[in-house]
């Protein structure tokens, strides 16, 4: 059974609770390799990967008023309001037939964390934290530059600063509850996944 928080509020929440979703938060600095490992977890263990960043970018691409607001905030390096991201995550979980979700890049701060649990009534099964040296993450991001507007050196360093100041308190909160699995993400991809597989061993493997 999924971890449930008291106080589900809306009909949408009740639907998520009835669905008994299992959520794993995936956190790590930009360039920590969490996206690659999420793809491996999806393939091996049958989770659905929900990237908060991808959902926000899709909303921007839609051209909606909401999307324009999000785009302006990202350009300024401002974290998007919790309720905006939570609404996108809720919609994605409800529209998907799966009940096991990796939520990547969220919560970004303590306010995000509290809002997610209060609004959805769901607490994560655990938090997967990809720990990687800033120098290594910077090298990876500069090498991979895929034309993303937020992958220039100045913005990369701003994102590191935001991650350390905002996300680490979230990790500390869940660590105090014994819910954090810390991964050395500076190792080669295959070695990192060996560590990940050990953590997910309690979940059934995806049927071939």
Q: Confirm whether residue 113 is marked as ligand binding.
A: no
How far is Cα 158 from Cα 49, in angstroms, rounded to an integer? 26
Q: Confirm whether residue 101 is marked as ligand binding.
A: no
Q: Confirm whether residue 160 is marked as ligand binding.
A: no
Q: Confirm whether residue 178 is marked as ligand binding.
A: no
Q: Confirm whether residue 144 is marked as ligand binding.
A: yes
The CA-based angle 67-68-69, given to 5 degrees, is 90
Q: Confirm whether residue 41 is marked as ligand binding.
A: no
Q: Confirm whether residue 199 is marked as ligand binding.
A: no
Q: Give SS3 for 110.
A: helix
Q: Confirm whether residue 68 is marked as ligand binding.
A: no
Q: Confirm whether residue 36 is marked as ligand binding.
A: yes
Q: Confirm whether residue 67 is marked as ligand binding.
A: no
Residues 6 or more apart in contact with residue 173 via CB below 8 angstroms:
110, 113
- Sheet containing 126-131, strands listed edge to edge, beginning at the edge strand earlier in sequence: 48-51, 100-104, 22-28, 126-131, 180-184
Q: Confirm whether residue 44 is marked as ligand binding.
A: no
Q: Confirm whether residue 124 is marked as ligand binding.
A: no
How far is Cα 91 from Cα 104, in angstroms, rounded to an integer? 15
Q: Confirm whether residue 108 is marked as ligand binding.
A: yes
Q: Confirm whether residue 148 is marked as ligand binding.
A: yes
Q: Confirm whether residue 29 is marked as ligand binding.
A: no
Q: Confirm whether residue 107 is marked as ligand binding.
A: yes
Q: Confirm whether residue 105 is marked as ligand binding.
A: yes
Task: Identify the CA nearest to 51 among candidates 69, 74, 35.
Answer: 35
Binding-site annotation: residue ranges for a ribonucleoside 5'-phosphate: 57, 78-80, 105-108, 148, 159
Binding-site annotation: residue ranges for CMP: 112
Binding-site annotation: residue ranges for ATP: 31-36, 144, 187
Binding-site annotation: residue ranges: 31-36, 57, 78-80, 105-108, 112, 144, 148, 159, 187
């Amino acid at each position: 059974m999924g971890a449930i928080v008291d106080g589900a509020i809306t009909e949408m929440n009740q639907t998520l609770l009835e669905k008994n979703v299992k959520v794993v938060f995936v956190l790590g600095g930009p360039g920590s390799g969490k996206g690659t490992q999420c793809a491996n977890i999806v393939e091996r263990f049958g989770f659905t990967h929900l990237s908060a960043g991808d959902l926000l970018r899709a909303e921007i691409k839609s051209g909606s008023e909401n999307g324009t607001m999000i785009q302006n905030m990202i350009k300024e390096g401002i974290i998007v309001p919790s309720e905006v991201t939570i609404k996108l995550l809720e919609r994605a979980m409800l529209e998907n037939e799966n009940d096991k979700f990796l939520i990547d890049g969220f919560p970004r701060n303590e306010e995000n964390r509290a809002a997610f649990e209060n609004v959805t009534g769901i607490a994560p099964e655990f938090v997967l934290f990809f720990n990687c040296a800033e120098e290594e993450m910077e090298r990876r991001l500069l090498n991979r530059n895929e034309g993303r507007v937020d992958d220039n050196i100045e913005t990369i360093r701003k994102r590191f600063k935001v991650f350390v100041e905002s996300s680490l308190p979230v990790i500390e909160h869940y660590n105090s509850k014994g819910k954090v699995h810390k991964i050395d993400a500076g190792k080669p991809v295959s070695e990192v996944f060996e560590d990940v597989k050990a953590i997910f061993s309690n979940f059934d493997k995806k049927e071939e």
